[in-house]
A and B are shown apart, each in its own frame.
Chain A
Amino acid sequence: MMDEREIIQRVLAGDKDAFGLLVEEYQGRVYNLALRMCGSREDAFDLSQEAFFRAWRGLAGFQFESAFSTWLFRLTANICLDWLRAQKRRPTVSLTSVSEEDEAAQLELPDPGKGPEELLLAAEDRALLARAMDQLPVEYRQILTLRAIDELSYTEIAQVMGVKEGTVKSRLSRARLALRNKLYQIGNKSATETSNSTERRDAR
């Protein structure tokens, strides 16, 4: 079993099958990153292929300064960001426009006095959760995916996103809060209906 450095050396020598090994290894995480950043399976499919294709072409420039994985994820994220810009998507709130006050205000609970059950139920609805994700700023979508889905470390995330580790820590916490609040916002109706029926069931 070759180690990754060997595989990459082979790829640099033109070994396409070796590159296939890399694709197999990383296609899951690359695809999920593209999927959560861009919101559509077809586009994620296309953009994932684009990412690997560019990785193939650009591998000569890969200097082993970082791990191949972080280099690849960074490439993927950049492709997605370019694509999103070209899409001129419905206005998503960019991180830079969120003021400090707004962020603090987000700590206000939408519905004080209730327990976490409502939200947790809503979160279990995958479609609902995906929709909530989709409505967050792209930097939040990116960091949540890298951590919770692709399971990158803070160090790796810092490299992929080109920020300091401290920033990763704080941005991640804000992203989680934003997702939670968004889920409350859009999931309130269905969550209430579900919990009501649960209450009725429990009451019997």
Chain B
Amino acid sequence: MNCEEALTLLSAGLDGAVGPEEAGALEAHLASCPQCRRLAAELEGLDRSLAALKEPAPEGLKQGVLYRIDQASGKAKTRSRRFRPGTALGAVAALLVLLVGTGLIKLPSRQTRANDAEHAETGAPGYAEYEDPRLAPESARAPAYTDVWVVPPNYGENNYSGVDRNDDGMEPAKELSPAESGKKDAANTSSQDTEVSMDMDSLQARCGALSEAEEALVLAYADIDPDSLFTLLEREAPELYRLTSELEPREENGLLLYPTDCGTALALQEWLTAQIAVNGETVRGASLLTETLEQLDPGSSSLRRVIRLETPGHQVAWPESWPGAWALELQRGSNWILRYPSEDYVPREAAPAYLVFEAEP
């Protein structure tokens, strides 16, 4: 037996796939081959270490699946596609669609900003640590978030057939999505007892038309009105407030469009995601921050890129000194997000985006 054959048997042995005859022959080989003896020990240890790599499925996976199923069955036949990498964000516009609620919006309770003092000292941008929304009292539950819908530029073509382009503004409220039902429960304590009638079909159709015209991606839907959002941002996310509060909207086809850039839109989306509860479960928000912090380890293979932006000289002091970068763009999956907008972040005109709200009737 040569070492190659021994290797195959060693490997098979780890899986209990070696017969007695083969085992005997392998023994004989090992007796006279210190290299293979060593290899045997190594392969065995490696297998154990591999098993230890196993991770539990993250929170929200099952909910996300069930929710997608809900969305797909019966309602709008639009399909969500993951953002296609290779389509540089700078090349297409983006829409962050924020639906107007109807009086059921509850602002979250004031989040702890324990680390803000620390940040102020180090000059780091204030990305506050958010409390787990599950712990928030019902009345303070953040607005519900339906899903991240990414509509590629060729929206409406073959792959994405079945989009209802009719202006069905008068359609009655459809069966509530899990997000909507969750919010409805939360809202029972509200003084206003209004039904949520998020006309998703119509909104999606209009956004679809808009996204096609603009060659844009729809990033997210969330039911909140502009005023509430800006109030929230002013209190909870001053950097995002700075980037969005001065925006002048225009109205188009029943939608309010606030022109901004992709970095801002994505940062806002990320921040919203961190705020949002679906069915009482955090949608990846709380864990996202932890994961992102892990990704800041330069030695980690999951950190893809850090981009240097325009005005030099401002250093991010947190979490580690990262010379030269003052706004970190991190890749989360296939998407580039602006994670920590610094004071000096300048919106980039080359990457246009819109914050889209439903216009008041």
Chain A partners chain B: yes
| Interface residues of A, Cβ cutoff 8 Å to B | 16, 19-20, 23-24, 27-28, 30-32, 35-36, 39-43, 45-50, 52-53, 56-57, 83, 86-88, 104, 107, 109, 112, 114-116, 119-120, 123-124, 126-127, 129-131, 133-134, 144, 147-149, 154, 169-170, 172-173, 176-177, 179-180, 183
Inter-subunit contact B7/A50 (CB<8 Å)? no
Chain A nearest CB from B203 CB (Å) reads 22
- The residue from A19, A27, A129, A176 contacting B43, defined by CB atoms under 8 A apart: A176
Say which size band chain B's interface belongs to. 35 or more
Inter-subunit contact B4/A86 (CB<8 Å)? no
- The residue from A20, A50, A57, A172 contacting B15, defined by CB atoms under 8 A apart: A172
Contact A183:B46 (CB < 8 A) given known A120-B41, A173-B7: yes
Measured between beta carbons, the chain B residues less than 8 angstroms from A120 are: 41-42, 45-46, 49
Q: List 25 A-B contacts (CB under 8 A).
A: A30-B57, A45-B61, A46-B333, A48-B61, A49-B65, A50-B82, A53-B68, A56-B65, A57-B72, A88-B85, A109-B35, A112-B35, A115-B38, A116-B38, A123-B46, A123-B49, A126-B52, A126-B53, A129-B50, A129-B53, A148-B50, A169-B12, A173-B11, A176-B46, A180-B43
- The residue from B11, B284, B333 contacting A169, defined by CB atoms under 8 A apart: B11
**How many angstroms from the CA of A187 to the CA of B213 in the assembled complex?**
51
- The residue from B4, B57, B84 contacting A48, defined by CB atoms under 8 A apart: B57
Name which residue of chain B comes closest to A113, CB basis.
B34
**How many angstroms from the CA of A173 to the CA of B8 in the assembled complex?**
5
Chain B nearest CB from A13 CB (Å) reads 13
Q: Which of B287-325 contact A (CB under 8 A)?
A: 291, 299-302
Inter-subunit contact A119/B56 (CB<8 Å)? no
Chain B nearest CB from A160 CB (Å) reads 15
Chain B nearest CB from A85 CB (Å) reads 11
Contact with A along B25-36 (1 / 0, CB 8 A): 000000000010
Kindly state whether residue B114 has any CB partner on chain A within 8 Å: no
Inter-subunit contact B51/A16 (CB<8 Å)? no
Inter-subunit contact B54/A24 (CB<8 Å)? no
Kindly state whether residue B91 has any CB partner on chain A within 8 Å: no
Inter-subunit contact A53/B53 (CB<8 Å)? no
Kindly state whether residue B66 has any CB partner on chain A within 8 Å: yes
Name which residue of chain B comes closest to A55, CB basis.
B65
Among A48, A116, A134, A149, residue most surrounded by chain B Cβ atoms (within 10 Å): A116
Measured between beta carbons, the chain A residues less than 8 angstroms from B86 are: 86-88
Inter-subunit contact B42/A116 (CB<8 Å)? yes
Measured between beta carbons, the chain A residues less than 8 angstroms from B12 are: 169, 172-173
**How many angstroms from the CA of A20 to the CA of B86 in the assembled complex?**
33
Inter-subunit contact A86/B49 (CB<8 Å)? no
Measured between beta carbons, the chain A residues less than 8 angstroms from B3 are: 107
Kindly state whether residue B137 has any CB partner on chain A within 8 Å: no
**How many angstroms from the CA of A53 to the CA of B61 in the assembled complex?**
11
Measured between beta carbons, the chain A residues less than 8 angstroms from B84 are: 86
**How many angstroms from the CA of A42 to the CA of B54 in the assembled complex?**
16
| Interface residues of B, Cβ cutoff 8 Å to A | 3-4, 7-8, 10-12, 14-15, 17, 35, 38-39, 41-43, 45-47, 49-58, 61-62, 64-66, 68-70, 72, 82, 84-86, 284, 291, 299-302, 332-334
Inter-subunit contact A180/B7 (CB<8 Å)? no
Inter-subunit contact A28/B57 (CB<8 Å)? yes
Chain B nearest CB from A74 CB (Å) reads 18
Inter-subunit contact A124/B55 (CB<8 Å)? no
Inter-subunit contact A116/B61 (CB<8 Å)? no
Measured between beta carbons, the chain B residues less than 8 angstroms from A46 are: 82, 333
Chain A nearest CB from B261 CB (Å) reads 22
**How many angstroms from the CA of A170 to the CA of B190 in the assembled complex?**
65
Measured between beta carbons, the chain B residues less than 8 angstroms from A30 are: 57
Inter-subunit contact B72/A53 (CB<8 Å)? yes
Among A24, A45, A129, A133, residue most surrounded by chain B Cβ atoms (within 10 Å): A45
Name which residue of chain B comes closest to A131, CB basis.
B301
Top 5 closest A-B pairs, CB basis?
Answer: A42-B333, A173-B11, A123-B49, A148-B50, A116-B41
Inter-subunit contact B49/A147 (CB<8 Å)? no
Inter-subunit contact B55/A45 (CB<8 Å)? no
**How many angstroms from the CA of A28 to the CA of B347 in the assembled complex?**
40
Chain B nearest CB from A2 CB (Å) reads 18
Measured between beta carbons, the chain A residues less than 8 angstroms from B15 are: 147, 154, 172
Name which residue of chain A comes closest to B40, CB basis.
A116
**How many angstroms from the CA of A82 to the CA of B334 in the assembled complex?**
14
Inter-subunit contact B35/A134 (CB<8 Å)? no
**How many angstroms from the CA of A141 to the CA of B249 in the assembled complex?**
49
Chain A nearest CB from B298 CB (Å) reads 12
- The residue from A57, A107, A109 contacting B7, defined by CB atoms under 8 A apart: A107
- The residue from A104, A148, A154, A177 contacting B47, defined by CB atoms under 8 A apart: A148
Contact A16:B8 (CB < 8 A) given known A109-B35, A120-B45, A149-B51: no
**How many angstroms from the CA of A169 to the CA of B11 in the assembled complex?**
8
Chain B nearest CB from A123 CB (Å) reads 4
Name which residue of chain B comes closest to A175, CB basis.
B11
Measured between beta carbons, the chain A residues less than 8 angstroms from B17 are: 154, 169
